[in-house]
Amino acid sequence: MKLWLLDADVIIDLLGIDVFDKLVEHHEIYVSSTVAEEVKFFKKDEKKHEIDFKGHYIDSEQITELSASPDEIQHSTKPHIRDFVEKTMVNCGQFA
């Protein structure tokens, strides 16, 4: 099964409970470049562990990293939706 992991916190939590490698073994995993860059540490047994996520999972081709150029994003977004987003520009972190 193909899985898109859209949030670095999900990956960090799965690494911390020793589930992420099983997920990688059994599924085709995709992450965005931004998510891949955000995974640097995870916590396991109350200890902080550093991880070279890109080196371990992406460079070894266990996970696929995808990104879109600004032109690709602009082209794929309908003009009225793009206008709405530009006018409202809400940072989801404000609600966390």
Average pLDDT over residues 42-50: 95
Domain boundaries, the chain: 2-68
Is 0.85 surpassed by the pTM of this model? no
Mean pLDDT score of the chain, rounded to an integer?
Answer: 86
Do the beta carbons of residue 15 and residue 51 sit within 8 Å? yes
How confident is the model over 7-43, as pLDDT tens digits? Answer: 999 999 999 999 999 999 999 999 999 999 999 999 9
Conformation bin of residue 61: beta by default, left when phi > 0, alpha when psi is -120 to 50: left
Please tell me the predicted confidence (pLDDT) of residue 71.
78
Do the beta carbons of residue 14 and residue 3 sit within 8 Å? no
